[in-house]
């Protein structure tokens, strides 16, 4: 997913923090504590990282199904 470079609401830099956030959360840390440690106090900036997800992972099965149908025809 493409995380915006800046927060939509306040303009603070959030894009550079996404990789660190994702790595720490996947290692098992609590997202709220990770955001506090990274210095993201505003809820608008926090939502930019918390609401991001990898949309490609959801789209790939549909494209694979379309390709299988094309091969079957």
10-58 residue pLDDT tens: 999 998 999 999 999 999 999 999 999 999 999 999 998 888 777 777 8
What pLDDT, on the 0 to 100 scale, is given for residue 1? Answer: 63
Q: Which residue has the tokens 């809820």?
A: 43
- Separation of alpha carbons 3 and 14, rounded Å: 8
What pLDDT, on the 0 to 100 scale, is given for residue 72? Answer: 82
Record the pTM.
0.70
Burial (0-12, 13-18, 19+ Cβ within 10 Å), 48: buried
List the domains of the chain with CATH numbers. Answer: 15-72 (1.10.10.60)
């Amino acid at each position: 997913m493409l995380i915006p470079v800046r927060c939509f609401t306040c303009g603070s830099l959030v894009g550079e923090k996404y990789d660190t956030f994702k790595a720490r959360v996947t290692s098992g840390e609590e997202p709220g504590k990770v955001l506090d440690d990274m210095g993201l106090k505003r809820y608008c900036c926090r939502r930019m990282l918390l609401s991001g997800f990898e949309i490609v992972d959801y789209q790939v099965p549909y494209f694979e199904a379309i390709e299988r149908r094309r091969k079957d025809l």
